[in-house]
Amino acid sequence: MKLFELRSFGDDGLTMTERGDPSPCLGEVIVKMKFASINFRDFMIAKGFYNPNLSLPLIPLSCGSGEVVAIGNDVVDLKVGDDVTSVFWQDWNNTQQTRLVSTGSDAAGVLTEYAVLPMSAVLPMPEHLSHAEASTLPCAAVTAWTCIQAASIKAGDTVLLQGTGGVSIFGLQIAKALGANVIITSSSDDKLDRAKALGADQTINYKDNPDWGHEAFKLSGSGVNVVIEIGGGGTFEQSIFALCNGGHISLIGALSGIKAEVNLLQMVGKNINTHGITVGTKEDHQAMNEFFIKHDIHPIIDQEMNFNQGAEAIMGIASDNHMGKIVVNIDS
């Protein structure tokens, strides 16, 4: 089988190679991968920024979809022929709380013709989705889902999204399905126009308006109910400005820095809730799948790349030229 390996950290550490086809051990399933999708985390892993102590070589990518072609003797609830997606955390669910092993980082990923996954790291994919669409769910979609669930968003609330990457676009789709209002930020007017076409109620170009937090507060009337915080240190203060009393910040990233000066009295005065979000449990993933089926939500795919372009797809995500998700067609 063909697969990609991360053999060293840096720009040239990803290599396509070949191994023999795998067989399942107890508790494992073999998935013939159809599609995989790229997250910014995959770029950080490849560069050595995410965890420079990872054991190499490593098959990259946490998110993919395919068909089960073999199962271990003790595997239940899955059978050969099932269409499935990977699950981000292999050991985090309602009965197991360790959360130490994530697909494509602490364990082998899915940028391979045949992925070996524990049965805990596989879920049936929503039937209304294509393999390309389903491959985008395990990280970005589940993250957006848990961010919005943490804030108990309902119809009439306002959600503030930073940028137009995978998590933010999924957040837009989920929030609109709930009947919430959405404000989205970007430095690209073209992307903001596309976000409006997808249902965003208001948009802010943060390059033109560096006080975008105050602008979001005004646009929402009395402050937004939740910010999905991707920027981290460089954006946290503006997110606080944007919030209503009792509002939530769902913190998922730190693209603009890992440290922030915070006015604690302002947080107290607004009764602000801050949640650190690391994707979600297997049950979160399943609940999100059911929500997507109920509301007929289809992921937004910006680019589809061939299997032999796998390394290019991972390293290219840092250019931020995409809107929504980038997928790799492993069958190509």
Q: Which domain holds residue 200?
A: 140-276
pLDDT in tens, 68-110: 999 999 999 999 999 999 999 999 988 877 889 999 999 999 9
Q: Is the pLDDT of residue 161 over 80?
A: yes
Q: Are residues 118 and 151 in the same domain?
A: no
Q: Are residues 237 and 324 in the same domain?
A: no
Q: How large is the average pLDDT for residues 168-185? A: 98
Q: Is the pLDDT of residue 280 over 90?
A: yes
Domain of 208: which CATH number? 3.40.50.720
Q: Are residues 238 and 260 in the same domain?
A: yes
Least confident of 117-126, 174-183, 195-204, 248-257: 248-257
Q: Are residues 105 and 225 in the same domain?
A: no
pLDDT of the residue at 175: 98
pLDDT of the residue at 157: 98
Q: Are residues 125 and 43 in the same domain?
A: yes
Q: What is the pTM of this model?
A: 0.97
pLDDT of the residue at 95: 83
pLDDT of the residue at 326: 98
Pairing verdict, β 325-329 and 28-38: antiparallel
pLDDT of the residue at 96: 78
8 domain-assigned: yes
158 domain-assigned: yes
Confidence grade of residue 332 (pLDDT, cut at 50, 70, 90):
confident
Torsion of CA 100, 105, 110, 112, to 10 degrees: -140
286 domain-assigned: no
Q: Is the pLDDT of residue 256 over 90?
A: no
Tokens representing residue 229 in the block: 């915080």
pLDDT of the residue at 285: 98
Q: Is the pLDDT of residue 149 over 80?
A: yes
Q: Are residues 154 and 250 in the same domain?
A: yes
Q: Are residues 10 and 46 in the same domain?
A: yes
171 domain-assigned: yes
- Give the position of tokens 């990872």: 54
Confidence grade of residue 39 (pLDDT, cut at 50, 70, 90):
very high
Residue 173 CB burial class (10 angstroms; 0-12, 13-18, ≥19): buried
Give the number of domains in the chain.
2
Confidence grade of residue 254 (pLDDT, cut at 50, 70, 90):
confident
287 domain-assigned: no
Mapped onto helix, strand or coil, the DSSP state of residue 31 is strand
Pairing verdict, β 273-276 and 243-251: parallel
Q: How large is the average pLDDT for residues 53-73? A: 97
Distance in angstroms (rounded) separating the CA atoms of residues 132 and 329: 7
Ranges assigned E (strand) in 210-323: 224-229, 243-251, 273-276, 301-306
Pairing verdict, β 28-38 and 63-71: antiparallel
Distance in angstroms (rounded) separating the CA atoms of residues 269 and 290: 37
Q: Are residues 128 and 17 in the same domain?
A: yes
291 domain-assigned: no
Domain of 96: which CATH number? 3.90.180.10
Q: How large is the average pLDDT for residues 155-173? A: 97
Q: Are residues 21 and 40 in the same domain?
A: yes
292 domain-assigned: no
40 domain-assigned: yes
User: What secondary structure letter does DSSP report for 102?
Assistant: B
Q: Are residues 104 and 160 in the same domain?
A: no
Q: Are residues 52 and 118 in the same domain?
A: yes
Q: Are residues 132 and 248 in the same domain?
A: no
Distance in angstroms (rounded) separating the CA atoms of residues 164 and 194: 9
pLDDT in tens, 209-219: 999 999 999 99
**182 closest CA partner among 191, 192, 172:** 172
pLDDT of the residue at 255: 85
